[in-house]
Amino acid sequence: MPAGRPSDYSIEKADLICELIAEGKTLVHICALEEFPHYSTVCRWLDAHEYFRDKYAHARRVQADFFADETIVIADTEPDPQVARIRIDARKWHASKTAPKKYGDRISQEITGKDGGPVETVAEVTIRPQVTREEWLKLHGLDTAMGATASGE
């Protein structure tokens, strides 16, 4: 068998990929390393192996925490404010997409009535007089004898 990138699934390789993701490495970065499978191979593994899929989802949630924590380190240590802002914004964006319930923007919507008061609910009810079957048939152009129309058709 010729040497090359690994393509056979193994739990050990799946665990290592998940460990690196949880430590903040991206899948693109991991798959660029020669000892790891190609990106498309990892995607096939995710489709085919439930264990890997579950572990990968957990690793992504942990990665979101890692990136959120890393923003503090960057803010405290990066000497260039523009570079710090870009690095922090990228991590905040990634965390908000990977773990939206925890790091996503919270959207709240409040509905108020006129001048900030309560919403008024108005219901309009029309009461029509009761119509007999014969009157209804006549209104709709039907003859009471065998449902024929008034025009005789």
In this prediction, residue 1 carries a pLDDT of: 43
In 72-151, beta strands by DSSP E: none
Q: What is the pLDDT of residues 43-93, one digit of tens each?
A: 999 999 999 999 999 999 999 999 999 999 999 999 999 999 999 999 999
Residue the block writes with tokens 């006549």: 138
In this prediction, residue 148 carries a pLDDT of: 55
For the beta carbon of residue 36, count every other beta carbon within 10 angstroms: 19
- The closest of 97, 95, 94, 73 to 84, measured between CA atoms, is 73
Coil/strand/helix, residue 97: helix
Q: Which residues on neighbouring strands pair with residue 149, listed in sequence order?
A: 142
pTM: 0.64
Angle CA(128)–CA(122)–CA(131) in degrees, nearest 5?
A: 5
Question: What does the mean pLDDT of the chain come to?
Answer: 88
Q: What is the pLDDT of residues 15-46, one digit of tens each?
A: 999 999 999 999 999 999 999 999 999 999 99
In this prediction, residue 4 carries a pLDDT of: 66
